[in-house]
Structure 1
Amino acid sequence: MRIDASRAWGGYAAVMTGMAAWLALGGAAEDRARLSVLDVERINVREPDGKLRMVIASSKRMPGIIIDGRDHPHPTRTEGGMLFYNDEESENGGLIFDGRIRNGQPTNGGSLTFDRWHQDQTVQLFTDEKGAKRRAGVIVNDHPDGPMDIAATTRAMALPEPARSAAFRHANVEFQQRAYLGRKADGSSQLELGDAAGRPRLRLQVTADGRPSIALLDAGGRVTRTIE
């Protein structure tokens, strides 16, 4: 059988062109894929340089507290959800949620937060349900200047009061609530504003049975004037 060299080279070129096109299409498919269902326990969203920007995970696969790319054990986090990270690869907010039957009563919770740099949450949108006790609202907090000491915070969790509060202050994690707007556990709706020390100074309230009031408080928490 005689082989025509020109035809052989033409066939080779055609095959190579086809392979190149297939690889190009395959590469594009790897960059962008469409799936009907994706079941995973954790997704890490990263920048092109590898820095972590977001984690979506189940409760068992959530990271600890990541600061400057280093993962520290979290002393209390048990929920699943989504965590956000800044350009330094440090946690700066998140969305977490849980819910189950505990001791025969329903419990449910969700929290969207935004943190201060190397600190805890300054703004929180939340809901919290424990049987008949339900709260929901928005909280604004003040946190200390400077980063928190995560290792010292973890150690403080095991201490009794008042040593625990002192240890929290030393770890730079003590905070003051400056504002609360939402539903309280007693069924009232309330707007409460605090001073720089976190002491409530103004409270607007409508009780569960519909009684409105405005209360002014002194630094000791005593009501000095009420408007009803």
Structure 2
Amino acid sequence: MSQLRTFLAGATTMAALLAAIAALSGAADPGRRASFDEITVGRINIVEPDGTKRIILSNKAQFPGDFMQGKEGARPDRRAFAGMLFINEEGTENGGLIQKGSVGADGKIDSGLSLTFDRFRQDQALQLMNNDSATYQMTGIKINDVPHFALTSMADIERFGEEAGKLPEAEQRAYRQKLAEAGRLSQNRIWLGNTGAKGSALQLKDARGRTRMMLLVTADGKAEIQMLDETGKVSKSITPGSKE
């Protein structure tokens, strides 16, 4: 009889354990639904039914690399951030939200947040950003002209950087200029944000990334519209006191 009681007690405990596991896993629900008031995890992968990752939310320690057509590439430079990656139907990175913020042993701030939207199989076309450090603070919106992936792939961008790194500094500038003239590089076309002198500015740029018009309000409230030539020199300036 004692053996029977022991068996029944063990069976009851096992049944309760299996029921708890089933509830947590959603197995008790045909729709595999579960409800939580709070969940604590290091990383969450949101996937399609076929397993394709679509959104990854992660802490710093487990932050993923980059994704191109279903393959993940190593990105050790991202291990300073926590955040979220967006991935499209083919398994290619589509943008993301990353953030960090700390004060080092030297007392210096190292903080930043960036929300980006990528062109298809390419790099950032739109970025909302905020950076804060011991020497500067910058908040802005960047709109970039990004080449089609068939003209310049992400692998090409990596190769351009490697080839430029083998050249003397003066030749690096010429090398990048040649690529820019051929439309092979991304160029910032619009910048809206603060300036190093605590002003606010809207910069409109040409296809080479050169600022050609700037709307500026200085920290002390002076407003100005500047038109610049291809060398960056102000060719015309309009202020409230300007006379045509």
Which structure: greater strand fraction? Answer: 1
Equivalent of 2:214 in 200, 203, 207 = 203
TM superposition score normalised by structure 1: 0.79
Task: Indicate if the aligned counterparts of 1:114 and 1:124 stay in contact, CA closer than 8 A.
Answer: yes
Match of 1:34 in 2: 35
Name the Cα RMSD after superposition: 2.9
Q: Which amino acid aligns with 1:192?
A: Q
Match of 2:90 in 1: 88
Unaligned ranges ≥5, structure 2 = 1-18, 240-244
Match of 2:45 in 1: 44
- Kindly report which structure 2 residues correspond to 1:94-173, keeping only aligned pairs within 5 A, or say none: 94-102=96-104, 103-131=106-134, 133-146=136-149, 147-149=153-155, 152=159, 155=162, 161=169, 166=175, 169=179
Give 1:142 shift. 1.1
Task: Indicate if the aligned counterparts of 1:203 and 1:216 stay in contact, CA closer than 8 A.
Answer: yes
Match of 1:174 in 2: 185
Give me the identity figure in percent. 35
Match of 1:223 in 2: 234
Match of 1:70 in 2: 71
Q: Which amino acid aligns with 1:201?
A: R
Unaligned ranges ≥5, structure 1 = 1-18
TM superposition score normalised by structure 2: 0.74
Q: 1:62 to 1:122 in 2, by over 3 A?
A: same
Give 1:105 shift. 2.3
Match of 1:13 in 2: none
* Cα deviations by residue, 1:97-137 (Å, 9 ceiling, x for unpaired): 00111332223211110001111100001111113521111
Task: Indicate if the aligned counterparts of 1:75 and 1:157 stay in contact, CA closer than 8 A.
Answer: no
